[in-house]
Structure 1
Amino acid sequence: MNLTRTAYGTWSGGRFMHYGEQLSEEHYKQLMRLSFEKGVRTFVTADVYGVGRADSLLGEALKGIPREEYSLVGIIGHDIYEGIRQGSRGYPRFTDPALRGPDQYYDYLKMAAEKSLERCQTSKFDLLMLHNPDSIAYTSEKVWDAFTALKDQGLTDRLGIAPGPANGFTLDMIECFERFGDRMDWAMIILNPFEPWPGQHVLAAAEKNKVDIMARVVDYGGLFHDDVKPGHKFRDGDHRTHRPAGWIDHAVEKLEKVRPIAEKHGLTMLQFACLWTLGNTAVKSVVPTLIQEHGEDSRSIESKLDELAALPEQCLTKDEIETIRQIGDNTGCMTLKGASARHAGQEPRPDEWPMRDDLLDLAKRWDLALSW
Structure 2
Amino acid sequence: MRAAEVVSLGRSGLPVSRLGLGLASLGGMYAPVATARAVATVDAAWEHGVRLYDTAPVYGYGRSESVAGLALRPRPRDEYVLCTKVGRLIEPGGPDTQTIWADPPPGLGPRLDYSYPAVLRSVEESLERLGLDRVDVLHVHDPDEDYPTALGEAYRALAELRAAGVVRAVSIGVNHADVAARFLREAPAPGPDCVLLAGRYTLLDQSGLAELLPLALARNVAVLAAGVFQSGLLADPRPGAAYGYAEVPTALLDRIAALRAVCARYAVPPLAAALQFPLGHPAVATVLVGARAPEEVTENARLLDHPVPPALWRDLKSLRLLPENAPTPE
> Is TM-score (shorter-chain normalized) higher than 0.5?
yes
- 5 Å matches for 1:226-237? 226=235, 228-230=236-238
The amino acid across from 2:263 in the alignment is R
Matches of 1:123 and 1:72, distance apart in 2: 11
Residue in 2 that maps onto 1:11: 24
Residue in 1 that maps onto 2:113: 94
SS of the counterpart of 2:16? Answer: coil
The amino acid across from 2:148 in the alignment is I
- 5 Å matches for 1:1-372? 1-12=14-25, 15-18=27-30, 21-81=31-91, 84-88=94-98, 91-95=110-114, 105-133=115-143, 134-137=146-149, 139-140=151-152, 142-164=153-175, 168=176, 170=178, 172-180=179-187, 182-189=190-197, 190=199, 191-198=201-208, 200-224=210-234, 226=235, 228-230=236-238, 240=243, 242-245=245-248, 249-250=253-254, 252-260=256-264, 263=267, 267-290=268-291, 301-310=293-302, 311-312=304-305, 317=310, 320=313, 323-324=316-317, 327-328=320-321
Q: CA deviation at 1:209?
A: 1.9
Q: CA deviation at 1:203?
A: 0.7
Residue in 2 that maps onto 1:359: none
Compared CA separation, residues 107 and 87, structure 1 to 2 (3 A): closer
Matches of 1:116 and 1:52, distance apart in 2: 8
Matches of 1:324 and 1:243, distance apart in 2: 29
Q: CA deviation at 1:200?
A: 5.0
> Which runs of no fewer than 5 residues in structure 2 stay unpaired?
1-13, 100-108, 324-330
Answer with 271-280 or 179-188: which moved more.
Answer: 179-188
Contact preservation (8 Å) 2:279, 2:287: yes
The amino acid across from 1:37 in the alignment is E
Matches of 1:84 and 1:259, distance apart in 2: 45
Q: CA deviation at 1:322?
A: 8.4
Q: What whole-Å deviation, never above 9, does each CA across 1:323-346 have from its counterpart, x for those lacking one? A: 35965469xxxxxxxxxxxxxxxx
Contact preservation (8 Å) 2:29, 2:60: no
Q: CA deviation at 1:25?
A: 2.5
Q: CA deviation at 1:83?
A: 7.4
Residue identity over aligned pairs, in percent, reads: 21
> Which runs of no fewer than 5 residues in structure 1 stay unpaired?
96-104, 292-300, 331-372
Matches of 1:70 and 1:257, distance apart in 2: 38
Runs of 4+ residues over 6 Å off in structure 1: none
User: What is the count of residue pairs matched by the alignment?
Assistant: 294
- TM-score, reference length from structure 1: 0.69
Q: CA deviation at 1:94?
A: 1.1
Matches of 2:314 and 2:113, distance apart in 1: 39
Contact preservation (8 Å) 2:263, 2:312: no
What is the root-mean-square deviation in Å for CA atoms of aligned residues? Answer: 3.2
Q: CA deviation at 1:92?
A: 4.0
Q: CA deviation at 1:284?
A: 1.0
Q: What whole-Å deviation, never above 9, does each CA across 1:340-365 have from its counterpart, x for those lacking one? A: xxxxxxxxxxxxxxxxxxxxxxxxxx
The amino acid across from 1:185 in the alignment is D
Q: CA deviation at 1:302?
A: 3.8
